Structure 1
Amino acid sequence: MLIRVLPRLILGFEIAGDTPNISLTQAQANHDAYKTHVVNAKTPNCISNCSITWDDYAKSNTNGVQITTARSVPSNPNSPLLIPHHINIRNNKIYDMPEARIASLSTDYLTVENKMIYGTSKRTFFATSGISLLKLTNWDSNIDTSFYKKYVRNNTVYDNRSEIGWADKEIEKGHSTPSCPMETGSLSTPMNNTTSRPITV
Structure 2
Amino acid sequence: MAVYAAIGLAEKNNQFIVPVFQKILNKKGKMHIQNGCILSHDHPAEPVYLNYYCQLKREELKSDSDLKQLDSLLLFMPASSELILTTALRNRTYSDGLKKQIAKQAFENHRTPALLYLNSWHKKEYSDPIQEELFKLIKNDSIDGGHKRKYLSMLLSFNNIENKKAVLNYIKKDSLWKEDGQIRSQLENNGITSEDYN
Q: Give the number of the structure whose residues are more often helix, by fraction.
A: 2
Greater relative contact order (Cα 8 A, min sep 6): structure 1 or 2? 1
- What is the TM-score of this pair, normalised by structure 2? 0.30
Greater Rg, structure 1 or structure 2?
2
